Amino acid sequence: MLYFKKELKGEREMNLKELNFSKNVASTKIKNDVTVYSTIPSSEKIDLIQIALQKADEEGIYNEIKLDIYFHLNLVYLYTDLEIDDEDKQDELELYDILNNNGFIDEVIDAIGETEYKDLVDYLNETKEQNLKYNNTAAAVIRRIISDLPANAAAAKELLDEFNPEAYQEVMNFAAAANGGRPINQQTVPVNTAAPNNVLNIQKVVKKD
């Protein structure tokens, strides 16, 4: 229960419900009788920003074109009552082109209002910059390595499960033949001609157990 404390001693605290704050949100009608809301709940604003950033993320770098597209698409999803079915959302890039080329997104932005829209853009850019800074920290690198471990382990297991010793030996034999009959684990080590005794043609054979 939220209360507002009064300064004067002896007066009781006021309950939030007693203030009769309105939960109604102002809205505007645009073409085709679509309703545009002047604001939305804070939780939905956070979702809007995070979804746009996630969909534009390309290995820690944000694709600015995608970021612009997904930000404005989610603006339409959350700030209007326009019904868009799942089939239309299957190709969101095409959906964005349709809405944008027909001026619908611009109408939504105008109806939302400059202050609300600017606040959203500022929050988007601030969050993006914070994420980019974090992605360059050691903590972020370690986190990515840890998150990749299960996938890497699964790939290694699959490789071992599918390993064919006979096929491997055939490849080794072919490589040896192409190498003049020498085992492919034999490496020629460059010799320092200035060294004592000026020994040439020394080969180091690396043997596997």
Three-state secondary structure along the chain? CCEECCCCCCCCCEEHHHHCCCCCCCEEEEHHHEEEECCCCHHHHHHHHHHHHHHHEECCEECHHHHHHHHHHHHHHHHECCCCCHHHHCCHHHHHHHHHHCCHHHHHHHHHCHHHHHHHHHHHHHHHHHHHHHHCCHHHHHHHHHHHHHHHHHHHHHHHHCCCHHHHHHHHHHHHHHCCCCCCCEEECCCCCCCHHHCCCCEEECCCC
Q: Are 16 and 31 in contact (CB under 8 A)?
A: no
Asked if the model's pLDDT at residue 161 lies above 80, the reply is: no
What pLDDT sits at residue 72? 97
What pLDDT sits at residue 127? 95
- pLDDT band at residue 32 under the 50/70/90 scheme: confident
152: Cβ–Cβ under 8 A, 6 or more apart, which residues?
none
Q: Are 34 and 82 in contact (CB under 8 A)?
A: yes
Asked if the model's pLDDT at residue 144 lies above 80, the reply is: no
Asked if the model's pLDDT at residue 7 lies above 60, the reply is: no
Closest of 63, 69, 80, 71 to residue 27, by C-alpha: 80
Least confident segment among 21-25, 85-89, 145-149, 205-209:
205-209
Q: In the chain, where are the structural domains located? A: 40-120, 137-187
Q: How far apart are CA 176 and CA 178, in angstroms?
A: 5
- pLDDT band at residue 15 under the 50/70/90 scheme: confident
